[in-house]
Amino acid sequence: MARHKHKPQRTCIVCREIKDKPELIRVVRTPDKQIVVDITGKANGRGAYLCKKNSCWEKGLKK
Ligand SMILES: [Zn+2]
């Protein structure tokens, strides 16, 4: 009866909460040090995941 759903999960880089991937927003740091939101999830570069809390965005974007 056990249903094992293999949902991809990611960790918010700021608060370290583990969430289902759709609940996190992928951001990519570009070579010219800009941070862009990666809507497709496929952009090249160093990706990181942030949850949707404002506090995480404020801290995350300073790194
Ligand atoms: Zn967070």
Determine, yes or no, domain membership for 2: no
Rounded distance between C-alpha atoms, residue 24 and residue 53, angstroms: 10
Cβ pair 14, 50 in contact under 8 A? yes
Of residues 15 and 6, more confidence is placed in 15
Determine, yes or no, domain membership for 18: yes
Structural domain total, the chain: 1
Q: Name the band, by pLDDT with cuts 50, 70 and 90, for residue 63.
A: low
Token duo for residue 32: 């010219």
Ligand 1 centre to CA of 62 (Å) is 14
Annotate 45-63 with DSSP letters as a single string. SEEEEE-S-HHHHHHHTT-
Determine, yes or no, domain membership for 4: no
| Main-chain phi, psi angles of 59, to 5 degrees | -75, -40
Structural domain boundaries, residue 50 = 9-60
What is the pTM for the complete model shown? 0.75
Ligand 1 centre to CA of 48 (Å) is 11
Determine, yes or no, domain membership for 3: no
Q: So what's the pLDDT on residue 13?
A: 94
CATH of residue 51's domain is 3.30.1230.10
- pLDDT tens figures, 18-60: 999 999 999 998 888 888 898 887 777 778 999 999 999 999 8
Ligand 1 centre to CA of 1 (Å) is 33
